Amino acid sequence: MAELVVDGNELVVRLRAVERMEAVHGEVRVPVGSVRTVEVLDDAMNAVHGFRVGTRIPGSAAIGTFISRQAKIFAVVHHNTPRGVRVDLDGAQFDQLIVGCDDPEAVVAALRPPG
């Protein structure tokens, strides 16, 4: 399962080898300073929309780059992790990151700056 982690001054979407193939993309790294908001999504799969470069199996997986009129999204969501996290970005290669995870509340808490 993909992970969202802070590595120095970057927010990183770490992918397993199979996710790299499905996404047709390697790890995504964006500056922490580009993060505008971080929120929990109860239905991460349906938050992903647009033309894709990667893998989309409705109701099962949304992995890769998704481009619509509203946003350029990098997503990694599997059917076994229907909840997830959306990170809105400003001035990065993507407008949003959407990552499915078992405990999105913990991920959101870890990504928010202290104070």
> Mean pLDDT over residues 74-79, rounded?
94
Provide CB contacts within 8 A for 7, sequence distance 6+.
29
Length of the chain (residues): 115
pLDDT of residue 110: 87
Q: Write out the residue range of the structural domain in which residue 10 sits.
A: 3-111
Helix (H, G, I), strand (E, B) or coil at 14: strand
> Mean pLDDT over residues 90-101, rounded?
96
d(CA 24, CA 38): 25
Top pLDDT among 23 and 98 is at 98
Q: Provide the whole-model pTM.
A: 0.93
Q: What is the pLDDT of residues 22-75, one digit of tens each?
A: 888 999 999 999 999 999 999 999 999 998 888 888 888 999 999 998 899 999
When pLDDT is cut at 50, 70 and 90, the band that residue 95 belongs to is very high
d(CA 81, CA 92): 25
> Mean pLDDT over residues 101-115, rounded?
84
Number of domains within the chain? 1
Give percent of the chain with pLDDT exceeding 90: 72
pLDDT of residue 52: 87
Sheet of strand 35-41, all strands in order from the earlier edge strand to the far edge: 35-41, 84-89, 96-100, 72-78, 61-67, 51-57
